[in-house]
Amino acid sequence: MLAWLEVVGRGAVFLVRVLGGLPGAAFRGRELLRQIGRVGAQSMVLILVSGAFVGMVLGLQGYNMLVRFGAEESLGLAVALALVRELGPVVSALLYAGRAGSALAAEIGLMKTTEQLAAMGMMAVDPLRRVIAPRFLAGVLSVPLLAAMFSAVGVLGGQFVGVGLLGVDDGAFWSQMQAGVDFRDDVANGIVKSVVFGVVVTWISLFQGHDAVPTSEGVSRATTRSVVWSSLAVFGLDFVLTSLMFND
Amino acid sequence: MAAEPTRAPPPAAPEPLVAVEGLTFHRGPRPVFDSLDMTMAKGEITAVLGPSGAGKTTLLKLIGGELRPDGGRVLVGGKDVHRLSRSGLYTLRKRMGVLFQAGALFTDLDVYENVAFPLREHTRLSEETIRDVVLLKLEAVGLRNARGLWPRELSGGMARRVALARAIALDPEIVLYDEPLAGQDPISAGVLVTLIRQLNDALGLTSIVVTHDVEEISAIADRMHVLSGGKCIATGAPAEIRASGESSVRQFMQGLPDGPVAFHFPGPPVAEDLLGAAAGAPGGNPAAARA
């Protein structure tokens, strides 16, 4: 228990120091764009393909349920609410943790193992500001964008199955969605969730890499821990945020 | 009364740039240094020798402020390294260059950008000036024409030379070398040793080299310290160290397998282990049993 508290304390100090480096990271435009490309743009294919399939499954399952009550015209609303409120932020954060978070943990862990971080420190350059902060900011900016793409493609996937394959009226699909999805309650809350997930997953991944035992096994364990802890944090925080946001 | 003949004053003792005073450091329960004292003089090449595990790399990390001692202090240019604020420590580190054991080149930057890195971070030089400085530093280590290569394309010796060019990019006063010759073939080792001497003299550096390569470093070092058992057991010019009668120093300098530094890891004798096993006792781990 004491060891666990010690890790949490180190993680908190790490986060505070990284946050202190964010203004500098924001001014390193080229490096920031490079990192957004690595953690965000390179995750897009995974996010888009997954979003399309999740939307298609939602369309299929939603139709089968709604058609029993003759409410299949509400399919667009059901798919959109499920994606915007829950599946978009949660699944995209989980995919981000698996693809980009694990890569961040491994990269930072290897930089530590090969003494690149120590070398930077000995050159009077703070690695937390120079290396970690731009990656952190890139992750925090990328996850909400990835979640938005996931939801948008998911809606199109649901429309393809519901309207294209199962015969739901196209106008009803879109109009019900337009009438039922509230920007502040649904879309904005979904964005808030994905920002929180972006902060937490990127923090956990970078911290695990930075805190890794500098051996092959240590980096391997840190990479695994980054995915496990990120996933658990996403599920736990999703429950907390959902109960705060949608508790009417 | 005849005047006393005037005598030339004795040569002034070289001014110490780095002083280690009463340094104590533990790794877990194991003492690495026990009230260690030594000095490194300005403008000299000081070699710190000792067997593996003697704490040579740890000493460099303590001098650079990467590690904090349990007791004693390290003075660099008169400043206590471990009493400095973070910004004070970083200001001091700008006066230091460090050559890490494996080079520690940034793998996402090519050779040119690795050497340019400290210049870009700490100066506002124009791109043309940075280019000139980088090419001159690479020329000094013989790798100007390798500037477009990536760290993964370099041999071990080349990687260390690039790291050396990066370490001297900001024209430091002190360069710390961590096992620069480990794992090098004779040609690479010879090149590195020559470079250390030439750069020290040409740039007016103070060099601290930790190594266990006695032969190569003896040829260029002005002064040597031998570490053993957490203390400095011998200090002097290479010839004085070679002539030392102290058994630990003799064992190290002559590479004798057994002596004060035992060949066998301490524990029960082999007969006891084997006979104990024959009598049915499971083979245990003496180190674990002691822990």
Convert the pLDDT of each residue in A170-201 to its tens digit. 999 999 999 999 998 899 999 999 999 999 99
CB pair distance less than 8 Å for A115 and B101: yes
What residues contact residue B92 under an 8 Å CB cut-off, 6+ apart? B65, B76, B77, B79, B81, B84
CB pair distance less than 8 Å for B102 and A114: yes
Task: Name the pLDDT band for B27 (thresholds 50, 70, 90).
Answer: confident
CB pair distance less than 8 Å for B90 and A126: yes
**Closest alpha carbon within chain A to B63:** A122
In a domain, A98, yes or no: yes
Is B237 within 8 Å of B76 (Cβ atoms)? no
Averaged pLDDT for residues A230-245? 95
In a domain, A5, yes or no: no
Q: Tell me how many domains chain A contains.
A: 1
pLDDT tens, residue by residue, A64-109: 999 999 899 999 999 999 999 999 999 999 999 999 999 999 999 9
pLDDT tens, residue by residue, B86-108: 899 999 999 999 999 888 999 99
What is the predicted pLDDT for the residue at B12?
Answer: 55
CB atoms within 10 A of CB A38: 18
- Torsion sign, CA atoms B96, B28, B183, A127: negative
H helix count then E strand count, chain B: 11, 10
How many whole angstroms separate alpha carbon B228 and alpha carbon B244? 15
Q: For a pLDDT cut of 90, what percent of chain B falls above it?
A: 46
- Collapsing DSSP to helix, strand or coil, B272 comes out as helix
- Collapsing DSSP to helix, strand or coil, A166 comes out as coil
In a domain, A24, yes or no: no
Domains located in chain B, CATH noted: 43-66+83-257 (3.40.50.300)
- The minimum CA-CA distance between A39 and chain B, rounded to whole Å, is 15
What residues contact residue B290 under an 8 Å CB cut-off, 6+ apart? B267
Residues in chain A closer than 8 A to B105 (CB atoms): 116
Select from A114, A121, A124 the Cβ nearest to the Cβ of B94. Answer: A124
What is the predicted pLDDT for the residue at B21?
Answer: 92
Is B18 within 8 Å of B206 (Cβ atoms)? yes
- The terminus-to-terminus CA distance of chain A in angstroms comes to 37
Query: Tokens 């050159």 map to which residue?
Result: A123
In a domain, A90, yes or no: yes
In a domain, A20, yes or no: no
- The minimum CA-CA distance between A194 and chain B, rounded to whole Å, is 30
In a domain, A219, yes or no: yes
What is the predicted pLDDT for the residue at B258?
Answer: 67
CB atoms within 10 A of CB B24: 15
In a domain, A13, yes or no: no
Q: Provide ipTM, 2 decimals.
A: 0.80
What is the predicted pLDDT for the residue at B3?
Answer: 45
- The terminus-to-terminus CA distance of chain B in angstroms comes to 76
| Residues of the domain holding A207 | 35-236
Least confident of A34-43, A152-161, B60-69, B232-241: B232-241
In a domain, A226, yes or no: yes
pLDDT tens, residue by residue, A111-120: 999 999 999 9
Which backbone phi and psi does B72 adopt, to 5 degrees? 80, -170
Does position B10 have pLDDT exceeding 90, yes or no?
Answer: no
Which backbone phi and psi does B26 adopt, to 5 degrees? -120, 145
